[in-house]
Amino acid sequence: MKLKRNERVGALIKILSDHPNEIFTLSYFTNRFNAAKSTISEDIVVAKKMMEDLSLGKIETIAGAAGGVKYIPFTSRENNRVVLEDICKKLAESNRIVPGTFLYMADIIYNPALVRKMGEIFASQFIGETVDYVVTVETKGIPIALMTANALNVPLIILRRDSKVTEGSTVSINYVSGSTGKIQTMSISKRAIKNGANVIIIDDFMKAGGTAKGMIDMMKEFEANVKGIGVMIATSEPESKLVDQYIPLLILQNVDEKKGRILVYPNENLV
Amino acid sequence: MKLKRNERVGALIKILSDHPNEIFTLSYFTNRFNAAKSTISEDIVVAKKMMEDLSLGKIETIAGAAGGVKYIPFTSRENNRVVLEDICKKLAESNRIVPGTFLYMADIIYNPALVRKMGEIFASQFIGETVDYVVTVETKGIPIALMTANALNVPLIILRRDSKVTEGSTVSINYVSGSTGKIQTMSISKRAIKNGANVIIIDDFMKAGGTAKGMIDMMKEFEANVKGIGVMIATSEPESKLVDQYIPLLILQNVDEKKGRILVYPNENLV
């Protein structure tokens, strides 16, 4: 089947954006579209320019023997503002407050469209970095972490709260929750992480940073380099967390149970 | 900015496929692309035909006041065969067997590219059905369930093994694991599911079906209609499960620890 340019451009964009950060050779497209290399190269130029003009992400060509073309999900500050302000608006609904001044968030953190966008924002912060794994701890951070891993095209690692028989030999550590002072355990199969890997840590919520600190300690067991930490929401208090560098999407400043007021705003470095 | 047809077709496909099962009005595209309705309609015809010709999914136009155009991830049998045989090949590696004849699967079930494809296969089985939620139980099924929810553009519901303080009032049930006979608990916030909803249940593994049965029982608490059950792997034994209707992607026939042989094959109704 011979395709027209507009069909080839559409198909190329579909295939690339279904596989973020995966390199496709030009030969893949010459075979699949039954077209010459020079034709495909022109298609890529068209696709690349359009994607940038409309802020739909980046298409990058890689030269050399291992070369080809790939799609990089990249979110602009303007896009981040729209996404994060929308989430803030949802989070500020007073009926989210549950006893103990916690916020009910399951409808947000388990909403595929929202977590996909959050994952793309996180992935955009690590463009150009080598990342081998995205690491999270069960349960609530998993969807955001998975979508970050999807955008970066790397495996997700889920640390468990207990060690399961189906994991084979495991590494376990104890850590202290920064906010409650309670000792907790996390564990992971020994074979889950290659030694010396580059990882980023993603979680849904950070108060004192004890869980993030626990994940960093766990990564030390694998001599992994933590290249960054991303959390959906960080509380503004305590200001001093147990970890130094982290990227919150949103800052939760106050939950006033009596007045039913929730004060949350986007991280201004992202918007 | 005035776009050319090949740019418009590319952008239209990118926007639609980034938002599976979400209806976009024609006005959305006339505004965003600065083009006439008739022009956009022609673009849609081009995109629709190309997507079908290349088996890249479906683009559907919806007539009427709430009408517009949407992308439906649809996987062909041929595509399913390639995806599922690839996963079988990975699963058959003898070093996956961990003591107790369990299989180590974290590298597969937490691989975003693989779970995305599995999610699209599940979603393809429910095209035309009304689905309000995808339901799973923590932890291992979450990535596949999330990608299924993403393809269907519906919220994910995660049943917890214990009840967390941040969830507000919860509903808990006890269920009996069909394979071990052990009593277990699952719980979910009362506000997570609207009464009378249509749900599909997704999990990573089914042996006797006790967990799936537990999820069905939980859904009864919300008067929900279970429209289907999808599991990544079902064991061939016991043949009689605690649930009647379920769609496995793969059948695990045998794990021979001594010989290091794992016999697993795709569900032949899907390929």
A192 touches chain B (CB under 8 A): yes
User: Where in the sequence of chain A do the CATH 1.10.10.10 domains occur?
Assistant: 5-72
Cβ contacts (< 8 Å) between B154 and chain A: which residues?
112
Cβ contacts (< 8 Å) between A12 and chain B: which residues?
10
Domain B77-266 fold is Rossmann fold (3.40.50)
Q: What angle do CA A182, A185, A186 make, to 5 degrees?
A: 135
Per residue in A4-55, pLDDT (tens digit) is 999 999 999 999 999 999 999 999 999 999 999 999 999 999 999 999 999 9
Nearest CA in chain B to A57: B14
- Does the pLDDT of residue A267 top 80, yes or no? yes
Cβ contacts (< 8 Å) between B165 and chain A: which residues?
98-100, 102
The pLDDT, as a whole number, for residue A181 is 83
Cβ contacts (< 8 Å) between B149 and chain A: which residues?
110, 112
B253: left (phi over 0), alpha (psi -120 to 50) or beta: alpha
Interchain pair B189, A106: CB under 8 A: yes
The pLDDT, as a whole number, for residue B162 is 79
Q: Point out the residue among B14, B115, B149 whose CB comes nearest to the CB of A17.
A: B14
Pick from B43, B158, B177, B180 the residue to mutate for testing the A interface (most A CBs within 10 Å).
B158
Interchain pair A146, B143: CB under 8 A: yes
Cβ contacts (< 8 Å) between A46 and chain B: which residues?
4, 6-7, 10
Could you list the beta-strand ranges (E) of chain A: 58-62, 68-72, 97-98, 102-103, 133-137, 156-159, 170-176, 183-189, 198-206, 225-235, 247-256, 261-266
Q: For residue A103, list its beta bridge partners.
A: A97
Cβ contacts (< 8 Å) between B50 and chain A: which residues?
3, 7, 10-11
Interchain pair B110, A54: CB under 8 A: no
A237 touches chain B (CB under 8 A): no
Pick from B18, B74, B79 the residue to mutate for testing the A interface (most A CBs within 10 Å).
B18
CA distance B229 to A144: 24
CA A257 to chain centre: 31
User: Where in the sequence of chain A do the CATH 3.40.50.2020 domains occur?
Assistant: 77-266
Per residue in B215-259, pLDDT (tens digit) is 999 999 999 999 999 999 999 999 999 999 999 999 999 999 999
Interchain pair A156, B138: CB under 8 A: no
The pLDDT, as a whole number, for residue A165 is 64
- Does the pLDDT of residue B196 top 80, yes or no? yes
Q: Point out the residue among B110, B139, B157 whose CB comes nearest to the CB of A155.
A: B110
- Does the pLDDT of residue A152 top 80, yes or no? yes
The pLDDT, as a whole number, for residue B165 is 64
Mean pLDDT score, A219-224: 97
Interchain pair A50, B11: CB under 8 A: yes
Choose among A70, A242, A11, A110: nearest CA to B138.
A110
Q: For residue B159, list its beta bridge partners.
A: B137
Per residue in A86-141, pLDDT (tens digit) is 999 999 999 999 888 789 999 999 999 999 999 999 999 999 899 999 999 999 99
A65 touches chain B (CB under 8 A): no
Which residues 20-59 of chain B have a CB within 8 Å of chain A? Answer: 22, 32, 46-47, 49-51, 53-54, 56-57
Q: What is the mean pLDDT of chain A?
A: 94
Interchain pair A146, B149: CB under 8 A: no
Interchain pair B11, A166: CB under 8 A: no
Mean pLDDT score, A214-225: 97
Domain A5-72 fold is Arc Repressor Mutant, subunit A (1.10.10)
Q: Is the peptide bond before A248 cis (omega within 30 degrees of 0)?
A: no
Per residue in B125-174, pLDDT (tens digit) is 999 899 999 999 999 999 999 999 999 999 999 999 876 667 888 999 99
The pLDDT, as a whole number, for residue A111 is 98
CA distance A19 to A17: 5
A167 touches chain B (CB under 8 A): yes
Choose among B134, B191, B198, B148: nearest CA to B167.
B191
The DSSP annotation for B10-25 comes to HHHHHHHHHSTT--B-
Per residue in B27-67, pLDDT (tens digit) is 999 999 999 999 999 999 999 999 999 999 999 999 988 88
Interchain pair B10, A13: CB under 8 A: yes
Mean pLDDT score, B172-196: 90
Strands A97-98 and B133-137: unpaired
Q: Could you tell me how many CB contacts below 8 A there are between chain A and chain B? A: 185
Per residue in A244-260, pLDDT (tens digit) is 999 999 999 999 999 99
- Does the pLDDT of residue B12 top 80, yes or no? yes
CA distance A99 to A158: 29
